Amino acid sequence: MNPYTQSRIGNILLWVFLASVLFNLISPLPGFSGTLPDHGLGILGAILMLLTLEYPFRKRLLKKRGRDNPLFFHVFFGLSGATLAMVHGSARFTGPASELLFVVLLFLVSTGLVGKFLFRRVSVTLRDQKKNMELLRREFFRVRQDPVMQQACDFMGERAIFPDLPEAPEDAGMEDPLFISNCDKLLKIARGIAETETAIKTFSATKKIFSRWAILHMILAVFFWGILATHVANTLYYGLRWLR
């Protein structure tokens, strides 16, 4: 499946999930609670969300990344399962566990989506900046090998270190337009390298922040599964009304 199709499917699932949240809050269906379809949606949603654990399992334990472990299926199962859970929860809140489960699920999905879009954008930008840095360095060293450019480098280096250095007789040709053009070209490349280095440091720091954001997402996931287990145990303990 190509990235464009994956993006379209992901956007559709996101809008459907948001619609299910609004439906849950605005139009609850208390008469739907405890029926066979209600429990069926809850069970199916839990199974789909359980399938999201394959991604961290393959990533953390099997060290599978990139194309060997696509993020798309993690997002697909997560949003699909969360949507069914929201429809299941629209029946009514049966207690503190279900209410807390609703809130944690919202935060879990939110942190996952923020991490997915922003972390990916930062990673792509950082990768592009590193490619630009490599190209600029290659261009700088290629240009610098020219004897005329070498002279310009030496001249600029001396003037940068010793700005009050008196002009030597051999520097008389430094006013030549071609020489000035060479100096400007080298300066532009050098400024580009400096600016790109600053951008790389900034995006690297941002990427570290988002890596901590992923830790928050994992903590919420552990919390979510704990509450879900309590919710399921509570439902089984007090009986399934549709079996009566």
Residue 140 domain-assigned?
no
Contact call for residues 81 and 221 (beta carbons, < 8 A): no
Domain count, the chain: 1
pLDDT digit of tens for each residue in the chain (244 aa)? Answer: 677 788 888 889 889 999 988 887 777 666 676 677 888 888 899 999 999 999 888 888 888 887 888 888 999 999 999 999 888 876 555 567 677 888 889 999 988 888 777 777 777 788 888 888 888 888 877 776 766 666 666 655 544 433 443 444 444 444 556 666 767 777 788 888 888 888 888 888 877 777 777 788 889 999 999 988 888 887 777 765 555 5
Q: Is residue 134 part of a domain?
A: no
Q: Is residue 193 assigned to a domain?
A: no
Residue 208: exposed, middle, or buried by beta-carbon count in 10 A (0-12, 13-18, 19+)?
exposed
Domain range for 29 is: 3-114+217-243
Measure the CA–CA gap between 112 and 84, rounded to whole angstroms: 17
Where do we find the tokens 């739907």? 32
Report yes or no on 212 lying in a domain.
no
In a domain, 197, yes or no: no
Helix, strand, coil share (%) of the chain residues, nearest 5: 85, 0, 15
Residues 6+ apart with CB under 8 A from 38: 32, 88, 91, 242
In a domain, 20, yes or no: yes
Q: Is residue 142 part of a domain?
A: no
Q: What is the pLDDT of residue 161?
A: 38
Residue 238 lies in a domain: yes
